[in-house]
Amino acid sequence: MMKKFIYATILAGGLTLTSSCQDMLQEEAQSQIEKPEFMNDASEAEVVLLGVYRGMVSDAVYGMNLSMLFDMSTDLSQCTGGTTGYRQVTTNSMTTSDSYVQNTWRDLYAAIYTANDFLETIATRYPYFTALDKQKADIYIAEARALRALYYFELLRYYGNIILMETTADSYKKNSEFVQAAPEEVYAFIEEDLKYAVEHLPYATNDDVRSDNSFRFSRGAALGLLTKVYATWASYPVHDTSKWELAATTARILVESGKHNLLSNYETLWQNTCNGIWDPTESLIEVSFYAPTVTGTNSEDPCGRVGKWNGVNANEIPGTRGRNAGNVKVVAPFYIDWETNYPSDLRRELSIATYKYVGTEKQQLVADKTVAEGATGWQNMTPAKWDTEKYVNASNVLVNNDKSNINWYVLRYADVLLLYAEALNEWKGGPTDDAYAAVNMVRRRGFGLPLNVANSVCDLRANMSQEEFRQAVRDERAYELAFEGHRRVDLVRWGIYYETIVSTAQRVFDWMAGATFTAVDYTTKGKHELLPIPQRDKDLMPNIKQNPNW
């Protein structure tokens, strides 16, 4: 569906928060000239709705920043090579004027404006729709509200103290009128949008209204995202622990619906997403990236950098393949611990590449996987989930040094199962049978075993304390979701981000003399849990307060 852009491309450049300046207001007004002549039926409304989805694909959102750039400097991954350019973000050495930080803020607010504009416009057209068009419009409205919730959730997780813009009119306030909302207020707004989406969206497999629901929000996606919202709301920094019960009960609705499940083979996830194959069994929210060529114009290139920046390193072969930079580097002790503790876990070799591609050859970085031989190669390991040479079929190849057509999972059913287990443990003061069942399903699949058959090889031991189970879930999230954009925000909501940076750096230094973990030199507790409010926006709006210690 992301291949369809007509009027949607007009809306994709919608008003950002900083465009309260008069010149930008005039520019926006010009882009809206033809709007009254559009959205006269459900078919036209659907085209405009795709413009709301279009907000997901920019580099500043899931094309690069939220998918890989902002998720580095954890116990799983880092970026080597200094502290210049984009590496300022990956090492926490950025300033309040960093362009990557500013662009993500801008693009998320632009996407929110587009969602608000769609919702307001369709509300004026709705009374004139046919009965069938109203049925479709009800779903489109729910999709737009779910997307708006997702965009606000990302702003809240990364920037913390943000401005709530409920309507397009809010975008036209005077600069002096903008103030930040309490995080609880934004969470409540997100909750309202997602509860509406849950009520009005069908499950993906029960959808008899949309002719094609590929990569579109469904009830399962809304339930899964709402679970994640509650779990984050219950954690640092808001710590509203009453939301653990809501996280657990929301996840239970999804689990007991039977509408989603784990794929039986972990590798199928990467075969699918590398080739644009939609399978709603496990994929709940997935960004569809596709462009037949790269024109260099962002509005015409809905492709991302997945597999290029965070895939297996590969040199360019002109006319055959583009270069894969492999900028995301695996923290070596993470691989070593995984291999030592769970040698039978099949996910390790599917998640971490101990090799790179040189010409037509596959070259091992670490010949025998021991620290003694080829130790420097351990610092060049990369994620393997988006291995372009292994998974991408000829029909999905985009020969380019920076861009790819590989999709991105924002939320998988496995993620929700682990959140379900975590929420039950926190709510009940210890693990329940359902909590064990959820984690063990994920682990069994990872070991290549039947999902619903107990197996001592991988199942968590019985009678764990609350703290033991908590740590087991945290470890399992690292193994199952490695490099998928979840680790940093997980560490932040658990309140252990700084401590993890320090302990990881020490492990790296103890492991090998001369090894580097640059982020430890720049990360400050009580500061880097959030990104800074972009300085340009703060300067424009005098009542906006900067985040702590920036």
User: Any idea which fold 1-200+523-550 has?
Assistant: 1.25.40
Class of domain 220-288+407-495: mainly alpha
Burial tier of 79 (Cβ tally within 10 Å: 0-12, 13-18, 19+)? buried
Per-residue pLDDT, 312: 97
* Contacts for 541 with CB less than 8 Å, ≥ 6 apart: 20, 175, 176, 178
Q: In CATH terms, are 1-200+523-550 and 220-288+407-495 the same topology? A: yes
The residues spanned by each domain of the chain are: 1-200+523-550, 220-288+407-495, 306-402
Closest CA to 218 of 234, 200, 240, 203: 203
Residue-by-residue pLDDT tens, the chain, 550 positions: 333 332 233 333 332 333 333 332 223 333 343 555 789 999 999 999 999 999 999 999 999 999 999 999 999 999 988 899 999 999 999 999 999 999 999 999 999 999 999 999 999 999 999 999 999 999 999 999 999 999 999 999 999 999 999 999 999 999 999 999 999 999 999 999 999 999 999 999 999 999 999 999 999 999 999 999 999 999 999 999 999 999 999 999 999 999 999 999 999 999 999 999 999 999 999 999 999 988 888 778 899 999 999 999 999 999 999 999 999 999 999 999 999 999 999 999 999 999 999 999 999 987 655 544 445 678 899 999 999 999 999 999 999 999 999 999 999 999 999 999 999 999 999 999 999 999 999 999 999 999 999 999 999 999 999 999 999 999 999 999 999 999 999 999 999 999 999 999 999 999 988 899 999 999 999 999 999 999 999 999 999 999 999 9
CB 454: neighbour CB atoms within 10 A? 12
The token duo for 389 is: 């040479």
End-to-end CA distance of the chain: 40
Closest CA to 18 of 436, 515, 539: 539
Per-residue pLDDT, 35: 55
* Contacts for 274 with CB less than 8 Å, ≥ 6 apart: 307, 386, 387, 388, 391, 392, 396, 406, 407
The vertex-224 CA angle with 220 and 225, nearest 5°, equals: 120
Cα(238)–Cα(252) distance, integer angstroms: 23
Q: Are strands 77-78 and 329-330 parallel, antiparallel or unpaired?
A: antiparallel
